[in-house]
Amino acid sequence: MPGKIKIGILKARNLPIMDRSSESSDAFVEVRFGNDNYYKTPVYKKSLDPEWNSRFFFEVEEDEIQEEPLQIRVLDHDTYSSHDAIGKVYIDLKPLLNPNGPTALNGFFPIFDTLHGIRGDIKVQARLEILSDCNEYRKSSSGVQFFTSSRIPEGYVLQNFCGFVEEMVLNDDPEYQWIDKIRAPRASNEARQKLFTKLSGEVQRRIGLKVLDIEANCVLGYQQYFDLEGEFGIVVRGIGTAANIIRQAGNSKSQLFPEISKHSKISPNRLTKKISSESDLNHQNLINKQENQNGHSISEKMEYPFLTLQQYPSGFIKSVCGIVCSRSVKLLNSNNEFDDLESRDKWWIEIRNEIRSHMKSLDCHVVLGYTETKSICEDVCVLSATGTAALFNEAFFANPLKRIDENSSEKCSICHVPYDETELPFPVALSKCAVCGQGQVPDVIFTSIQPLPEIETIGRGSLIKAIVSRPRKKSSGEISAKMISDYMPFMEYELHRQLLGKLKIKGMNMLYGLKVQISIGENLLMGIAEATACFAAPLPKPILPKIINDKMNREFKDIESLKKLLIDEMQRNIDFYGLEFKLSSSTIEQTDSENDSKALLKIELDDYREKENIYQLMDSAAKKNILACSTEYMPGIEFNSNLQMFTSIYRCEAKLVQMNIKKFNEIFDYILEGLNYKFRKYKNYVLANLSTDTSLFDDDHAMIILTGSCLTYGESNIDIKNNVEITNLSYVPNARIERYLGLVNLFLIRESTQIKENGGLSGFMHCFITEVLALVRAHVLSLDGNALVSFKMTECVLLDNPHRNQGQCLINVTGDAVRIVK
Amino acid sequence: MGTVDVCIGNNLIIDFDIFSLWIDGFTIEQCKTEIVKKDLSVRNCKETIIFRDIMDNYHNFNRLEQYLQIPCRLREQLMFQVSEEMIEKLVQCYYQYNPYVMREILNHKLTHKQRKDLDDIADKTETRVRSCRRQFDNLRQIIRILDDLKGPILRNIEEYFCLPRSLAEDYTAIVFLARNQFDLSKRKLSYLVLDDFIYCVNQMISNWPMSNSFEHDSDFNRDFLLSFKELKILSEKEFIDEHKRLVLHGMAKVLNNNMTKDCRCLILFDELFKDLSRSLIDIAYSLNHSKDMKDLFFDLFERFIEPCKDVKLIKNEVTIFLDEYRKKAHLVPDISKEYPKFSHTFDKYFTTISNCIIQMYH
């Protein structure tokens, strides 16, 4: 349906001096939308603060608005030669399509040039007038709201989940086209920016159509990925959860997600609750059975019962089981009969099917906190998908009264295993739930979702990180792919072993927000896992890892001292995190033979290297006193205020082959220590929502990006005055989200040929990230917002050429623009 | 250390210790040494970590500098989130000057050439060249911006540079000194510090009317300066003797506590009176020539302060003399018949000048 965009190009300020002699500029603006719409303002002579006050309109199609950005280009008029570019602004008009969203867009946008950065601001207004569309063959999918936040938006009520939606588009990357050889860097960068912005719009439009097809009204937990496959092209992927949500009437109690339960006093002997009568239990089991079947029937309606959210309304989850994960190594240039997009589609379908079968084998019917990632190195790529297998309460949607009911019932049931003790899907040590004494619980649970308030935790949480790296021979094609795929299971095992060992030594038994990242370098393979560990009350107390000395040739004393070390470390952790249990002799001396066989962690000492492994399981001295977690909430701590969101970028030049786990650990410690130093003035703070992104380049450098938020607790509210709060959390502590204004999705490229003059690569990156944040803030402000939640830097690639003093960086950021009330 | 090692946040958090070191032109390495020296709590941190933190701060400052040069833009820019209090604090720090450096800078014309020769000033004042350059550039920037603006300097500085009142007032005086190119470089004037000049100029600015033409609001009203010509009658034969008598008489009344000292003082003034009086009137007479205006401080020194100092008159005695000189001038018989507005003009001139002299007399 046709619509009309009314645009106003009003004025600009602080333009750069383009004409040296007069120390001013003769600026004018070109506005483009799609292929047909073009407008040019008159030239405003000799001013760095020109005022055009041009108002005009474009007639457009709705689906164009979903794909095309409004392109604004500011130029300096030159009578004799070609006009000089000052910079560009891309404005996404999609938020205006949303019926609940803002009606107009108005504000100063920084004028960005890929070679010079931000050069002044331009004031733009845009308003959309559109006729409603009832054509069923329509191409547009406006009205479907997208949320990147992986939770039910604040102020909305979830009605139902409709399914997993995904879309993917493939295109040539302009940087690798033949024309790039003769094109100026600016033109090439701009072509890329434009294309990528357009592709991500196309993906969203297509997902929107699917969403309308299954009669949902929004996409929650939307994740967007750019796979830069180099000469093979660029793939833009989007996944999300289609759902129906409605705005809650009245804003009084919009807190859908209850606050993390406060630290509760529970005696170490937690088996105090009354055991319900036998008949009651049977009855309950019966209902459970029925519900299980019910759940099956519903989840079978969805092709893939995968939910990309990480937080769910209370009462929704019935039971969490554990992580399901699937990986596959693929060659990008495999010449098969399918076209490129089709073959990539097939790859993902394979993976999803595998995840689904894993889920089924665990007797679960839904996967929560689902993500799909891809790591690429030249022509080899590793596709991964992970999530948390779980059961959900079918009654949750059917009967709203039941929800309340569910809240009051035993909360520990979430930890109970969904399968029968007699038919275990895999060998696992089960024990009686420590809270209710009835259900069977495993000794640890790993999940990829945010901390569940329903599960009672004792003490505080902690960040756990596991790193595995392994050199590989330089090779390409088939051989390389095979090598990587051969190593993958070992890597997975080693990561798991480390996580488990660290978890035990921490004295904890549950992992939230587990994220595993695989990076492939030319001659190095690396895996990093991070999660928030905590001590969940229903699960059994952790047992000290057992040291088994097979060969008996080792000094007894040696073993004893190692044991002592482990006990000391564990004791220290128990004290530090307030876990409130004692290392009783029974936890230390596990002689029970039955338990022994099933105990998940043993350390076998058969060569000297193993001893080092034990040390590796303990936190380094640097990390010891820093409170950190990889999730948005920290178990056991309630946050006061958001001090700062930070992005730490570290690039090291080293022969990657020589990089071992120890060296990587040192780098991470160094980054954390640096952050600790920065926030040393604040007493009580937590580095929350930490997320690491590691990329390996060629054979000689690695880049590590650590993002997170520094939050304070137990202190008087620190009021930070700012115009726009940007946070990677999906909420703002001590504030309420009043309104969601739309997705902000920016794709930017910055290039410089004066790296040394501007503070080296560090200076270049510092400047670019600062500019990106400035652009994000401007977009939020123009939508009348004052915060951006779920900020995520999905892509950050830095390429450099020191001999030519050149550097190029490409960044994609996303988030939800919102209006908050403090 | 990595080739890239940065940490960027959404809120600008500034470590003002580092900021002031940056302003003083410390390199990152020097800054680190200084911070470690100052802050005991960081002693057990790794040096690389302190270094990295300083580097992050420096990156911010280097980007921030372009806005600090035109502080009113700090309010509208989107690059950094700074609160109003922070803006004030940042700007105040950035425009803080070292009086010794500023004194040296004012000795010469603010030319590109001088900017290159700041090393000498840096050596002399034991300041870093970078700091000198910042102070030099700040002053030049203020003058350049003011050139395009209309209205009173003080208001423009306050508005455009977001400076607090007292600093803005000092800058008003400094700009005034620089614009009118007062000659402060004479060796004999070298004992005077910047505050002396600022005081004197502020006296003139607040007491003397400014020119109404917009281009140069640091010029005094020409007609006003020309009116000083009329003061010449005071040094004419018929009046000077009477004036002298009145002044000495008055002084004797005020002094009378230490006989020997007072006598000496009266005798000295008796001797010097004609020369001093003539000098003061001559200075007034010549102020309308811009060249003489430039030499004002030197003239005051050479023709008034130096003779008094040579005979070892103390500040208090000079103060009493100047006070009496001004009071008794009105009482000289018949002088207002010759020049009806004499009292008014003379007061305007002499209050200011006597304050200047007292300030400079040390």
Half-sphere exposure of B339 (CA within 13 A, CB side): 20
How many contacts (CB atoms, under 8 Å) link A and B?
121
Q: What does the pLDDT average to over B190-198?
A: 87
Burial tier of A6 (Cβ tally within 10 Å: 0-12, 13-18, 19+): middle
What angle is formed at CA A706 by the lines to CA A701 and CA A712, rounded to 5 degrees?
160
Q: What does the pLDDT average to over A91-98?
A: 88
Element (H, E) at A664: helix A661-678
Give me the pLDDT at residue A623, please. 66
**Whole-number Å distance between alpha carbons of A671 and B311:** 71
SS3 A307: coil
Give me the pLDDT at residue B10, please. 87
Mutate to test the interface with B, among A24, A650, A701, A777 (most CBs of B within 10 A): A650
**Residue count (chain B):** 362
Q: What is the ipTM of this complex?
A: 0.85
Q: Which chain B residue has the Cα nearest residue A118?
A: B79
- Structure-block tokens of residue A133: 């569309």
pLDDT band at A132 (very low <50, low <70, confident <90, very high): low
Nearest CB to A13 within list B49, B62, B76 = B76
Q: Is the dihedral of CA B86, B89, B93, B94 positive or negative?
A: positive
Query: What contacts A822, CB < 8 A, 6 or more positions away?
Result: A734, A735
8 Å CB contact between B161 and B95: yes
A543 pLDDT more than 60:
yes
CA A717 to chain CA mean position, Å: 28
Using alpha carbons only, how large is chain B's radius of gyration in Å? Answer: 26
Q: What does the pLDDT average to over B174-190?
A: 84
**Whole-number Å distance between alpha carbons of A34 and A769:** 29
**Whole-number Å distance between alpha carbons of A112 and B185:** 48
- Percent of chain A clearing pLDDT 70 (strictly above): 82
Number of neighbouring beta carbons within 10 Å of residue A403: 16
**One-letter amino acid of B163:** L
Give me the pLDDT at residue A298, please. 55
DSSP β-ladder status, A787-801 and A725-726: parallel
pLDDT band at B217 (very low <50, low <70, confident <90, very high): low
DSSP β-ladder status, A366-377 and A234-247: unpaired
**Whole-number Å distance between alpha carbons of B225 and B60:** 49
Closest CA to A511 of A444, A579, A454, A416: A444
Number of neighbouring beta carbons within 10 Å of residue A642: 25
Q: What does the pLDDT average to over B330-351?
A: 78
What angle is formed at CA A122 by the lines to CA A809 and CA A789, rounded to 5 degrees?
60
Give me the pLDDT at residue A336, please. 58
Whole-number average pLDDT of chain A: 81
Burial tier of A580 (Cβ tally within 10 Å: 0-12, 13-18, 19+): middle
Q: Alpha helices, DSSP H only, in B28-164?
A: 28-38, 47-68, 84-94, 99-105, 112-116, 118-125, 129-147, 153-161
8 Å CB contact between A743 and A69: no
8 Å CB contact between A153 and A737: yes
Higher pLDDT, A750 or A501: A750
Flag whether the pTM goes above 0.90: no
8 Å CB contact between A727 and A642: yes
**Whole-number Å distance between alpha carbons of A498 and A504:** 10
Q: Given an 8 Å threshold on Cβ–Cβ distance, is B49 in contact with A766?
A: no
- Structure-block tokens of residue A287: 């209902």
Which 8-state DSSP code applies to residue A19? B
Element (H, E) at A369: strand A366-377
Residue A38 φ then ψ, to 5°: -145, 140
Q: Which chain B residue has the Cα nearest residue A720?
A: B11
- Structure-block tokens of residue B292: 């003489």
**Whole-number Å distance between alpha carbons of A474 and A541:** 45
Q: Which residues, listed in sequence order, are joined to residue A440 by a DSSP beta bridge?
A: A432
**Residue count (chain A):** 822
**One-letter amino acid of A627:** L
- Percent of chain B clearing pLDDT 90 (strictly above): 7
pLDDT band at A640 (very low <50, low <70, confident <90, very high): confident
Query: What contacts B327, CB < 8 A, 6 or more positions away?
Result: B250
- Structure-block tokens of residue B105: 């800078």
Q: Which residues, listed in sequence order, are joined to residue A634 by a DSSP beta bridge?
A: A637
pLDDT band at B320 (very low <50, low <70, confident <90, very high): confident
Residues in chain B closer than 8 A to A766 (CB atoms)? 6, 8, 56, 59-60, 63
Nearest CB to A650 within list B5, B41, B73 = B5
8 Å CB contact between A501 and A358: no
Give me the pLDDT at residue A573, please. 84
Residue A271 φ then ψ, to 5°: -85, 55
Give me the pLDDT at residue A256, please. 42
Q: Which chain B residue has the Cα nearest residue A14?
A: B73
Q: Report the b/e string of A585-617 with b at 16+ CB within 10 A.
A: eebeeeeeeeeeeebbbebebeeeeebebbebb
SS3 A14: coil
Q: Report the b/e string of A96-122 with b at 16+ CB within 10 A.
A: bbbeebbeebbbbbbbbbbbbbbbbbb
Q: Which chain B residue has the Cα nearest residue A669?
A: B49
Higher pLDDT, A285 or A122: A122
- Over the stretch A605-636, which tens digit does the pLDDT of each residue have? 555 556 666 777 777 665 667 889 999 998 88
Q: Given an 8 Å threshold on Cβ–Cβ distance, is B78 in contact with A774?
A: yes
pLDDT band at A262 (very low <50, low <70, confident <90, very high): very low
CA B30 to chain CA mean position, Å: 31
8 Å CB contact between A525 and A491: yes
- Structure-block tokens of residue A720: 């930070």
pLDDT band at A771 (very low <50, low <70, confident <90, very high): very high
- Over the stretch B87-129, which tens digit does the pLDDT of each residue have? 889 999 999 998 888 888 888 888 877 788 788 888 888 888 8
Number of neighbouring beta carbons within 10 Å of residue A633: 28
Burial tier of A768 (Cβ tally within 10 Å: 0-12, 13-18, 19+): buried
- Structure-block tokens of residue A182: 């003769």
Give me the pLDDT at residue A216, please. 87
**Whole-number Å distance between alpha carbons of B113 and B103:** 17
Higher pLDDT, A147 or A276: A147
Q: Give the least confident one: A538-547, A641-650, A762-771, B244-253.
A: A538-547
**Whole-number Å distance between alpha carbons of A762 and A771:** 14
- Over the stretch A188-230, which tens digit does the pLDDT of each residue have? 899 899 999 999 999 999 999 899 888 888 999 999 999 888 8
- Over the stretch B74-89, which tens digit does the pLDDT of each residue have? 888 888 888 888 888 9
Chain B positions with Cβ closer than 8 Å to A: 2-11, 13, 41-42, 45-46, 48-50, 52-53, 55-56, 58-60, 62-63, 73, 76-81, 83-84
- Structure-block tokens of residue A753: 């040929």
Measured between CB atoms, does A652 come within 8 Å of chain B?
Answer: yes
Nearest CB to A675 within list B7, B50, B84 = B7
Q: If DSSP states are collapsed to H, E and C, what string results for A237-248? A: EEEEEEEEEEEC
8 Å CB contact between A792 and A811: no
- Over the stretch A380-437, which tens digit does the pLDDT of each residue have? 889 999 999 998 887 777 655 444 444 445 677 888 887 777 777 677 778 888 887 7
A300 pLDDT more than 70:
no
Residue position matching structure tokens 């191409």: A139
Mutate to test the interface with A, among B78, B85, B87 (most CBs of A within 10 A): B78
Residue position matching structure tokens 């207002």: B336
Q: Which residues, listed in sequence order, are joined to residue A517 by a DSSP beta bridge?
A: A528
Please report the DSSP string for A330-359 in residue order: EETT---SS-HHHHHHHHHHHHHHHHHHHH
Give me the pLDDT at residue A741, please. 92
Half-sphere exposure of A383 (CA within 13 A, CB side): 21
Give me the pLDDT at residue A147, please. 93
Element (H, E) at A318: strand A317-331
A281 pLDDT more than 50:
no
Which residues 84-143 in chain A show a CB within 8 A of chain B? 108, 110, 118, 121
Nearest CB to A645 within list B5, B10, B45 = B10
CA distances in angstroms from A57 to A8, A71, A88, B311, listed in the order given: 8, 14, 19, 85
Q: Given an 8 Å threshold on Cβ–Cβ distance, is A674 in contact with B52?
A: yes
Give me the pLDDT at residue A157, please. 87
**Whole-number Å distance between alpha carbons of A394 and A318:** 9
Measured between CB atoms, does A719 come within 8 Å of chain B?
Answer: no
Which 8-state DSSP code applies to residue A95? G
